[in-house]
Chains A and B, each alone.
Chain A
């Protein structure tokens, strides 16, 4: 049932008809051909890739710092930080979007793909923090202490011991943040200005019935890619947990 709408989209992307009705007419690849000839679309894909990579890198780095602080230290400020950092998980996106719109307007930041990227860091950081934190809980901090006993500085120990051990979790966090940003419409719709990201472009195309088959084939490609990325990052996390348990 959950996969049904997705499967339907994929089936229709090969259907030789401009309307999406049963029975199917015939097999065609022409909608896929149209995709790769579309400038605007390719621009939107480019914007989304830049926003996605940039915001997930920032979110993963900031989230990892937060995760280390949360798991390794029990100092005052911990619960306040955790509360604030987790809050974007439950605040409706429309509020995040309009509040940043107001802020950017007030301080004179131009609406752009960059502005949307700044917002995406906020929504994906909690995910990065939770993923990395759950990995950090899994191994004791005496490895860091050992490295420091052997002469490493604290930051050296973090960079050369902790971070490498967490690297599968870091990659998984990055991929999940990327998927979130790449897919995010609600906030981006307020902030991108004229640099449409892929979801914003896609939404603008949904109004034109003649573009429908193209949109559907685009949807089929996107869903296949994101599902593959998600399966990979889930596998990565799982394999990492199993190896951690063995060791």
Chain B
């Protein structure tokens, strides 16, 4: 009984805070998605119209598919790049591997905005890459395709996410009992087959975690497209931001956010089915 009350008083304040500023806002937004408008009588009129027009608007769907495709591309490529990186650190880098992994993670904690922005400087029409290519004589005049494109968004976000994807893969590879690989070699198994039949399957939870770590946040990305994406690189997150900050159609924005929230919760659910959540967070 005493234990219970201690547990309750410890969990109470953070629980209340999470309820007030995390659960409640989602609930209010859910209610908002049925409102006809944000002020006057429209505010108090409830309708399914927002959902209907959301489902009817093919522009929204196109953007939704396009940005899902961008997110998927980013997470697949980040995982493909992060795997060899994590593999190298665990199996080849020796005793310094944790330090090297930390060095990999540190830049991700520096200003997100500025890291994105520095890519704008690199890819921009008078940017580093273009001026470098020109001064090397490789191209005649600045190439415009480097910035304000879907490609620019993808390249920039891969840069952002590779270290985060590498982290769970690194952890999964670290957990593999190296004796298994030795045993396989002793039994005459070639290295590539040992990789395919031991290392890869055992690191699968890390791969999945990393993949979802990149996929879920990039679904909601709107800052990077604003900075380097231009019109063709804009994503679903930009649509939501537009509804709230420019079009001031909050109910429609709420509908869009609910749709995204649903998609994200679905992905999280799949992730927790694939592996235990506590395994991922480490205790």
Closest residue of chain B to A190, judged by CB?
B244
- Chain A 78-121 interface mask (CB, 8 Å, partner B; 1/0): 00011111111011111110111111011000000000001101
Cβ of B112 and Cβ of A223 under 8 Å apart?
no
- Chain B 15-56 interface mask (CB, 8 Å, partner A; 1/0): 101100111111011001000001000000000000000000
- Chain B 214-228 interface mask (CB, 8 Å, partner A; 1/0): 001101111100010
Cβ of B22 and Cβ of A88 under 8 Å apart?
yes
Centre residue among B113, B135, B219, B257 by max chain A CB count within 10 A: B113
State the main secondary structure of chain B at its contact with A.
Answer: helix
A22: contacting residue among B4, B135, B163, CB under 8 A: B135
A90: contacting residue among B10, B102, B135, B217, CB under 8 A: B217
Cβ of A95 and Cβ of B11 under 8 Å apart?
no
Whole-angstrom distance between the Cβ of B144 and the nearest chain A Cβ: 16
The size class of the interface chain B forms with chain A is: 35 or more
- Chain A 185-215 interface mask (CB, 8 Å, partner B; 1/0): 1100010000000010011001000000001
Cβ of B240 and Cβ of A85 under 8 Å apart?
no
For A105, list chain B residues within 8 Å (CB): 38
For B114, list chain A residues within 8 Å (CB): 9, 202, 219, 222-223
Closest residue of chain A to B127, judged by CB?
A20
A219 to B121, CA, bound (A): 13
B237 on the A face (CB < 8 A): yes
CB contact under 8 A between A100 and B11, given known A91-B261, A185-B113:
no
A125 to B13, CA, bound (A): 12
Chain A residues 219 to 247 lying within 8 A of chain B, measured CB to CB, are 219, 222-223, 226-227, 230-231, 234
Cβ of B113 and Cβ of A91 under 8 Å apart?
no
A77 on the B face (CB < 8 A): yes
A6: contacting residue among B23, B118, B221, B260, CB under 8 A: B118
The size class of the interface chain A forms with chain B is: 35 or more
CB contact under 8 A between A62 and B118, given known A84-B22, A179-B109, A190-B245:
no
Cβ of B115 and Cβ of A102 under 8 Å apart?
no
For A86, list chain B residues within 8 Å (CB): 277, 281
Mark B residues whose CB is within 8 Å of A.
2-4, 6-7, 10-11, 13-15, 17-18, 21-26, 28-29, 32, 38, 102, 104, 106-107, 109-115, 117-122, 124, 126-128, 131-132, 135, 159, 162-163, 212-213, 216-217, 219-223, 227, 237, 240-241, 244-245, 250, 253-254, 257, 260-261, 264, 268, 277-278, 281-283
Provide 5 A-B residue pairs closer than 8 Å at the C-beta atoms, listed in order of the A residue.
A6-B107, A66-B10, A96-B25, A98-B253, A176-B109
